[in-house]
Structures are given as C-alpha cells and as structure tokens.
Amino acid sequence: MRWNEIDSEICSIARTLSIVGDRWTLLVLRDSFFGACRFNEFQKSIGLSSHRLADRLNRLVESEFLKKVRYQDTPPRYEYKLTTKGVDIYTVLLSLTTWGNKWMSDADGDPVEYKHRSCGHITTPVLCCDECKAPIIPQELMPIVGPGILRKMPRDEELNYLPPILAKSLQNL
C-alpha cells in the first residue's frame, strides 16, 4: 500500500492515519487539547516551521478536526478550535499518554497526569467493554469482519489487503 493511497484502504486505522499519522499532527492535536488555539502558540510549543505548521493546521481544518475562526480583522488572524470530530480523538491521545507514562517516562516520573474533575482524583484512563464494562485485555479481543466489508462483498468491490485473521473469518462465514 502506498502512503498517498492509505485513505482509501478498507481499514479504520489506515484511514485515520491518513490524517493524523505523523508526529506533528498529533502534537498539534495535543496542544489543542492543552488550550493552544493560535498559530504562534502552536509554533512556540512544537517548534515547527511556519510552512509545515500551516500545512498541518490546514489538513486538520479540511478534515474537520479543527475549525478556523477569525479573531482579528486587520490583519486577518485566526484561531483553531476543536470540532466535535476533533474532540472525539482525545481518547486516542489519552491512550498514547497512558502507554507513554508506563513505558517512556524517565526517573522523574510521568510528565502528564489527568485529574478527574467529577471525583477530584488522579486517574489513568482504562478502556472497557461498552456492554459488560470489564477492562479490555488485548488477548481477549478477536477482530472479526464488520459490516463495512460484508456489504462490499456482494458488490464485488476490491477489498485490497485483509489481515490473515480477517481473511480466515471470511472463509468461516
């Protein structure tokens, strides 16, 4: 698969990576959640060149993760605000933070913790099953073919690459 074609893959991870799959974009989103909204705030925090930062912000606006809001007319200046779609990716960043705190922190400890406003305690986000509420343990999950693939099959649409476990589950249908 070529990187410039990843957005057409029949895979939610690949399609998501087509937008947020580089470190700079994830850092722009991180800073958005930490309150940055102006170009110079992102640039100061991330240290990215103006050209590359403008590219990442424009891509996030085009993909509707951020919206561009004018805050000054002369000269025109804009802020970048998270949309509902943008806010929804926060759980991904929380998962990355949890993993990073566990595996990448130095001797001084975790660089970022999260305080749950409702109860006031420091929390470590945990994924859980939306049905039984049990914590998600990777070894207890099994990927299966979803409706996005099943509906394409009768139309003989090309499925591109399917991981072996999904190809096997198709054979068992």
Q: What is the mean pLDDT of residues 46-61?
A: 97
Reply yes or no on domain 1-88 having CATH 1.10.10.10: yes
Q: Where are the domains of the chain?
A: 1-88, 90-138, 142-173
**DSSP symbol at 47:** -
Predicted confidence at residue 27, as pLDDT, reads 97
Q: What is the mean pLDDT of residues 6-22?
A: 84
Euclidean distance between CA atoms 74 and 72, whole angstroms: 6
Model confidence at 124: pLDDT above 80: yes
66 forms beta bridges with 82
Q: How confident is the model at residue 1 (pLDDT cuts 50, 70, 90)?
A: low
Tens of pLDDT, residues 61-91: 999 999 999 999 999 999 999 999 999 999 9
**DSSP symbol at 49:** -
| Nearest residue to 51 via CA among 62, 39, 60 | 39
Q: How confident is the model at residue 14 (pLDDT cuts 50, 70, 90)?
A: confident
Tens of pLDDT, residues 128-145: 999 999 999 989 988 888
